[in-house]
Structure 1
């Protein structure tokens, strides 16, 4: 990473390694001060990533300088298969899954770890630098990373709504109707029980995604995803 990696936020700036044992951080960018944690393994890219201590992870992602996360998978021949980053503004408590405590007979009895559930991340939050052994241009990576930075400007409640509607849109066809978006009303109600006007909130978030260039409004309640 230090020799060949670069900062997806500002482009081609090389990354610097933190000192050992920095909790939930491995690298930082001297140019823009973004922090990065790297998870790597010899396997195919999976949706559930084993991680460290649950309490440490929650505290870190809720801090003011929470890191972005790199995920790297490689073959037994040490060839990179997939290498992606999930920007820090996509990390919420929903993504961090608490594991059962270790048994009383374990060396670290009672220790509680966690998993990272990538299924909870919208597709726009998965920014590939290498995909199926194909290297993507740094300019493309930087543009995709920058496109979602507006989420950092939102408060946690607004960001939660935008991310939830993003995930719903991911499940719809490239061209979809407002009625199809409304089909997620019950699901969104369970996640936001204090909101009594779910459909209005869906329309509001579709406008946000339209204004940010993720979807296009075609008229008469019809939308199209912008790839």
Structure 2
């Protein structure tokens, strides 16, 4: 995998944003691959596709690319709020590639967040543009990566180190069970997963119970929070995300 952008492709562009778009999309087309089926070449959608940039001709996975100079931040600027919410609630919502690059146009990090980790509360609604703006009233959004469990951040390149494809595929495949859940069930699983991320490798049921008030705020309609915690721990255990050690004690498998 070549980590350098082919700068000759953007020599006719003066806008930095246009230049980066051309260079980053060309880099992904040349070096990226489908993390679902490992097909090397990804095809590009037409420029007017609402969200997705690439798709796999073999398994039809879709991918949206976000690029940024320097470090990967927790908050990523995105497009229209309404469009984004509609897409993540649809069956063909895209996976997201996030790419960071240096001032020398070298890839620092390239990761995918699979679509099953996206839920409405990961999308932050921005204030409408002012009445004097060219697109007055337009409402954009941000993506809050803090809402994604660490296992949902699958690196293909990390700190300029290329991750073996088999490791990438294995991490991607391990979380596909989430796609079979309803939106509500998946939300609960991800919320409990995030709580576990904040604990040590070995943790207890009592420690997860300590997040009950926080979970109650997220799910005010549920009057059986502790029962739900136990249920979701069992789901994560059955899927190999955590391991049962002894009564009331668990260990992370990631």
Coarse TM-score class (shorter-chain normalised): over 0.9
How far does the alpha carbon of each residue in 1:51-81 deviate from its partner, in whole angstroms, 9 at most, with x for none?
Answer: 1111111111111211000000000111111
**RMSD value, Cα:** 0.9
**Which aligned pairs between 1:31-180 and structure 2 lie closer than 5 A?**
31-180=58-207
1:138: how far off?
0.8
Which protein has the bigger helix share? 2
1:43: how far off?
2.1
Residue pair 2:33, 2:39 contacting (<8 A) in 1 also: yes
Q: Residue 30 of structure 2 corresponds to which residue in structure 1?
A: 3
Q: Residue 11 of structure 2 corresponds to which residue in structure 1?
A: none
Gaps of 5+ in 2: 1-27
Moved over 6 A (4+): none
Residue pair 1:99, 1:114 contacting (<8 A) in 2 also: yes
Gaps of 5+ in 1: none
- Counterpart selection for 1:192 from 195, 199, 219: 219
2-structure distance, mates of 1:160, 1:198: 14
1:156: how far off?
1.1
Q: Residue 6 of structure 2 corresponds to which residue in structure 1?
A: none
- Structure 1 window deviating more from structure 2 (20-29 vs 193-202): it is 193-202
Report the TM-score, using the length of structure 1 for normalisation: 0.98
- Counterpart selection for 1:15 from 35, 42, 46: 42
Residue pair 1:12, 1:138 contacting (<8 A) in 2 also: no
Report the TM-score, using the length of structure 2 for normalisation: 0.88
1:190: how far off?
1.1
Q: Residue 215 of structure 1 corresponds to which residue in structure 2?
A: 242
- Structure 1 window deviating more from structure 2 (143-152 vs 5-14): it is 5-14
Instruction: Report how many residues are paired.
Output: 227
